[in-house]
């Protein structure tokens, strides 16, 4: 599969990896057959030995945008499949007709691809929709009824809640629990045929109303809901419950390891009960032999701890609130922890994968410091991002002796700098120095503080890749604000020429020339929240918004950046990493987003 190559470094603790390694060695899943597409036991039995050692899946519900927590799950599943010669399916868990939309389906496909994963293996596309299994799910439900393992309950929702009991009290049986198979079958078919109102009755599993695990107290399997479904339209007016649908989806797809987050742990006994009930063969009272609907070995559910990142919220509901209340500018706002937002912010897919890899998998929910992601990001960008000079808070620097030194005010001194200091093969950047320059306002001080080595009257600094200049003073406006910094250029000091280092300087500053610099909008992003756990406890995340999470400034970038393409990433020397915005950037109107600074600021 066209997936990222396997990293060589030692892998962090990951109990799932250990488990799969052992099971593959023991051949636990070696006998499975694969019918070429998802299907029941007979379909797979007619197929070939499953060419995939293991099958995993990433099963998003298409009801929102993916966030960084999903990236963890994506990389875990696709990564394990890659490492063990398996396959990972992308499956849309679209059994809930009301909340799901095509827009989300498309966005999810795009972002999993962006992360670098593929579900195309040997010309088979393993992209599936749970709604394509509705026929089988219905058939399985009738089968459970026939086996006396499910019944139609006509109690009201309140009555059902009240008779379920709680942690200390066992539940009590519904008056409908003992109706006959024939009656149940007839009622269930009436439900399917639209003869009953929404919510009038549900199909329930018949397990144990006194079970200490509340999830086994006859959970609902099917409900009546007249709703248009994005895939099946108006074919159905009954829809399977998530807890019923999900195990069946896994089994039909030949999934070996169904990896989910810890909150599903209490569902595992039902997962196993359901799949076993469908895989078993039984002899009914009338002598018919039924069952064997699913291939064995059945999938097994394994839970791992959720990833929580500091300074980030990962609840779809709260992220939606940020968008709906216009606290951010949409799902792909560069401050959002959605994958769309992170992409626009300039995160590399490699850094997100690295973070996922580095955080392993454990049996407890974990809080990961944001710096883990930020460090992975900077490590990746450091080697890749071309260097460039930019001035973010510009003040003019006038070189007053230019015409005298070079014979003409029009003279331009060509300068060169490596595109990347460690990668000479990337070539060099060209720009030129003239008498009028932009420098950072804070690179000048009329009265220098102790330890300030940049421009102040009487001091010399090097204009990086250019020449040494000596500050002579400044012009100010009526309010005392510096309008121009004045300096003289020191002859024969151009970087890379013989004797250039003769003039000793303690400071080097970045700059762009006024004659060739390109004006650019720079969007300086910072963390969205001021607290490490923005939604901890009862706190409203709206109360801890960072008022300075974005600052828009107009600066200047070096001339080569007029050619920058959307999503090109750069290190603006001394300032940090920037990306050409994938929506608003255009060569004649450059827009760069600050991805991150040059050093970790998340520990502070
Ligand atoms: P949310 O709680 O934000 O709505 P969800 O779990 O309901 O997310 P799904 O679309 O059902 O959203 O998630 C798809 C998969 O991603 C699930 O297997 C889920 O367990 C996993 N997942 C979601 N959030 C995280 C997280 N923070 N860490 C690890 N895995 C996650
Ligand atoms: Mg979910």
CB 338 within 8 A of CB 320: no
In this predicted structure, what is the pLDDT of residue 11?
66
Mutate to test the pocket of ligand 1, among 70, 105, 115, 130 (most ligand atoms within 8 A of CB): 70
At the topology level of CATH, where does 394-516 sit?
Ribosomal Protein L25; Chain P (2.40.240)
CB 216 within 8 A of CB 270: yes
* Band of pLDDT at residue 7, cut at 50, 70 and 90: very low
Identify which of 460, 463, 482 has the alpha carbon closest to the alpha carbon of residue 471: 460
In this predicted structure, what is the pLDDT of residue 147?
97
CB 433 within 8 A of CB 409: no
CB 505 within 8 A of CB 443: no
Task: Collapse the DSSP code of 92 into the 3-class scheme (helix H, G, I; strand E, B; otherwise coil) and give the result.
Answer: strand
β-pair partners for 471: 487
pLDDT at 10 over 80: no
Cβ partners under 8 Å of residue 253, min gap 6: 38, 55, 57, 89, 91, 128
320 lines ligand 1 (CB under 6 A): no
CB 276 within 8 A of CB 295: no
Identify which of 289, 251, 283 has the alpha carbon closest to the alpha carbon of residue 136: 251
The angle at the Cα of 95, spanning 32 to 16, to the nearest 5 degrees, equals: 45
**β-strand 289-291 against 366-368: which pairing, if any?**
unpaired
What would the mean pLDDT of 180-204 be, rounded to a whole number? Answer: 98
β-pair partners for 291: 281
- The residue whose C-alpha atom lies closest to atom 2 belonging to ligand 1 is 315
**Separation CA 394–CA 411 (nearest Å):** 23
259 lines ligand 1 (CB under 6 A): no
pTM of the model: 0.93
H runs (alpha helix) in 180-330: 181-192, 242-252, 268-279, 316-324
Q: 293-318, pLDDT tens digit by residue?
A: 999 999 999 999 999 999 999 999 99
Give Cα 82 to chain centroid, integer Å: 19
pLDDT at 5 over 70: no
**Separation CA 576–CA 553 (nearest Å):** 15
Report CA-CA distances (Å) from 21 to 17, 172, 476: 6, 44, 71
What would the mean pLDDT of 423-432 be, rounded to a whole number? Answer: 94
**Separation CA 530–CA 313 (nearest Å):** 12
Q: 570-579, pLDDT tens digit by residue?
A: 999 999 999 9
CATH class of 311-382+517-604: mainly beta
What would the mean pLDDT of 71-100 be, rounded to a whole number? Answer: 94
Q: 521-541, pLDDT tens digit by residue?
A: 999 999 999 999 999 888 999
In this predicted structure, what is the pLDDT of residue 97?
87
CB 598 within 8 A of CB 381: no
Residue 161, H or E segment: helix 157-163
Show the tokens assigned to 70: 């999903």
In this predicted structure, what is the pLDDT of residue 502?
83
91 lines ligand 1 (CB under 6 A): no
**Separation CA 15–CA 80 (nearest Å):** 11
**β-strand 507-509 against 460-463: which pairing, if any?**
parallel
* Band of pLDDT at residue 518, cut at 50, 70 and 90: very high
β-pair partners for 553: 522
In this predicted structure, what is the pLDDT of residue 1?
39
In this structure, whether the domain defined by 134-241 belongs to CATH 3.30.70.3270 is answered with no
SS3 for 509-523 is: ECEEECCCCEEEEEE
Q: 214-224, pLDDT tens digit by residue?
A: 999 999 999 99
The answer to whether domain 311-382+517-604 and domain 394-516 are alike in fold is: yes
**Separation CA 311–CA 570 (nearest Å):** 25
Ligand 1 centre to CA of 260 (Å) is 8
Ligand 1 centre to CA of 29 (Å) is 26
Q: Count CA atoms within 13 Å of residue 263 on its CB side.
A: 3
**Separation CA 463–CA 433 (nearest Å):** 9
Concatenated DSSP letters of 415-434: EEEESSTT-GGG-EEEEEE-
Rounded to 10 degrees, the C-alpha dihedral 397/399/400/405 comes to: 180
What would the mean pLDDT of 584-598 be, rounded to a whole number? Answer: 95
307 lines ligand 1 (CB under 6 A): yes
318 phi-psi bin (left φ>0, alpha ψ -120 to 50, beta other):
alpha
69 lines ligand 1 (CB under 6 A): yes
260 lines ligand 1 (CB under 6 A): yes
**β-strand 468-476 against 366-368: which pairing, if any?**
unpaired
Number of Cβ atoms within 10 Å of the Cβ of 224: 21
pLDDT at 567 over 60: yes
pLDDT at 449 over 60: yes
From the CA of 62, the nearest ligand is 1
**Separation CA 113–CA 127 (nearest Å):** 12
pLDDT at 348 over 90: yes
What would the mean pLDDT of 473-498 be, rounded to a whole number? Answer: 96
Report CA-CA distances (Å) from 275 to 40, 220, 245, 271: 12, 16, 11, 6
* Band of pLDDT at residue 501, cut at 50, 70 and 90: confident
Residue ranges per structural domain of the chain: 134-241, 311-382+517-604, 394-516
66 lines ligand 1 (CB under 6 A): no
Catalytically annotated residues: 61, 306, 316
In this predicted structure, what is the pLDDT of residue 503?
83
What are the backbone angles phi and psi of residue 536, rounded to the nearest 5°?
-70, 145
Report CA-CA distances (Å) from 457 to 396, 434, 444: 15, 21, 9
**Separation CA 126–CA 138 (nearest Å):** 23
In this predicted structure, what is the pLDDT of residue 122?
87
Mutate to test the pocket of ligand 1, among 73, 323, 360 (most ligand atoms within 8 A of CB): 73
CB 466 within 8 A of CB 415: yes
pLDDT at 9 over 60: no
Ligand 2 centre to CA of 63 (Å) is 9
In this predicted structure, what is the pLDDT of residue 576?
97
**Separation CA 271–CA 219 (nearest Å):** 11
If you average pLDDT over every residue of the chain, what do you get? 95
């Amino acid at each position: 599969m066209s997936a990222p190559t396997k990293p060589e470094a030692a892998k962090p603790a990951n109990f799932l990896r250990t488990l799969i390694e052992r099971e593959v060695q023991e051949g636990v899943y070696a006998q499975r057959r694969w019918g070429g597409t998802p299907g029941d036991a007979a379909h797979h039995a007619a197929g070939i030995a499953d060419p995939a050692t293991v099958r995993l899946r990433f099963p998003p519900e298409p009801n929102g945008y993916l966030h960084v927590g999903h990236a963890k799950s994506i990389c875990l599943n696709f990564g394990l499949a890659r490492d063990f010669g398996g396959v990972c399916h992308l499956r849309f868990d679209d059994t809930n007709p009301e909340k799901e939309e095509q827009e989300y389906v498309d966005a999810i496909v795009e972002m999993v691809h962006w992360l670098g994963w593929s579900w195309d293996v040997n010309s088979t596309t393993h992209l599936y929709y749970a709604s394509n299994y509705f026929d089988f799910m219905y058939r399985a439900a009738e089968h459970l009824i026939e086996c006396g393992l499910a019944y139609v309950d006509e109690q009201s929702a309140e009555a059902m809640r009240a008779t379920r009991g709680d942690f200390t009290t066992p539940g009590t049986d519904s008056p409908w629990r003992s109706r006959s198979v024939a009656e149940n079958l007839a009622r269930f078919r009436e439900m399917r045929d639209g003869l009953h109102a929404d919510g009038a009755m549900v199909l329930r599993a018949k397990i144990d109303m006194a079970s200490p695990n509340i999830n086994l107290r006859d959970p609902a399997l099917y409900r009546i809901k007249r709703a248009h479904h994005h895939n099946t339209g108006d074919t159905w007016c009954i829809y399977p419950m998530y807890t019923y649908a999900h195990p069946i989806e896994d089994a039909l797809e030949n999934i070996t390891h169904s990896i989910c987050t810890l909150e599903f742990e209490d569902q595992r006994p039902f997962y196993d009960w359901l799949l076993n009930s469908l895989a078993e063969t039984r002899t009914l009272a009338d002598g018919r032999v039924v069952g064997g609907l699913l291939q064995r070995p059945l999938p097994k559910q394994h839970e791992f701890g959720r990833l929580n990142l500091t300074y980030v919220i990962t609840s779809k509901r709260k992220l939606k609130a940020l968008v709906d209340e216009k606290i951010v500018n949409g799902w792909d706002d560069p401050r959002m922890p959605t994958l769309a937002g992170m992409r626009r912010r300039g995160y590399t897919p490699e850094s997100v994968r690295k973070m996922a890899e580095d955080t392993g998998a454990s049996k407890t929910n974990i809080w990961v410091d944001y710096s883990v992601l930020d460090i992975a990001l900077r490590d990746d960008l450091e080697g890749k991002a071309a260097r460039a000079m930019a001035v973010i808070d510009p003040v003019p620097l006038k070189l007053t002796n230019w015409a005298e030194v070079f014979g003409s005010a029009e003279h331009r001194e060509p300068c060169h700098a490596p595109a990347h200091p460690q990668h000479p093969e990337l070539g060099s950047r060209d720009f030129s120095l003239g008498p009028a320059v932009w420098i950072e306002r804070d690179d000048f001080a009329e009265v220098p503080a102790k330890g300030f080595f940049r421009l102040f009257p009487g001091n010399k600094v090097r204009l990086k890749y250019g020449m040494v200049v000596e500050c002579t003073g400044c012009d100010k406006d009526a309010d005392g604000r510096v309008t121009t910094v004045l300096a003289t250029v020191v002859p024969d000091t151009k970087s890379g020429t013989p004797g250039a280092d003769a003039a000793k300087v303690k400071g080097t500053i970045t700059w762009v020339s006024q004659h060739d610099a390109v004006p650019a909008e720079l969007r300086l992003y910072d963390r969205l929240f001021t607290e490490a756990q923005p939604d901890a406890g009862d706190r409203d995340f709206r109360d801890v918004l960072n008022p300075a999470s974005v600052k828009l400034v107009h600066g200047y970038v070096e001339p080569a950046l007029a050619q920058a393409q959307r999503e090109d990433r750069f290190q603006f020397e001394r300032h940090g990493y920037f990306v050409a915005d994938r929506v608003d950037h255009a060569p004649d109107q450059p827009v760069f987003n600050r991805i991150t600074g040059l050093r970790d600021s998340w520990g502070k």
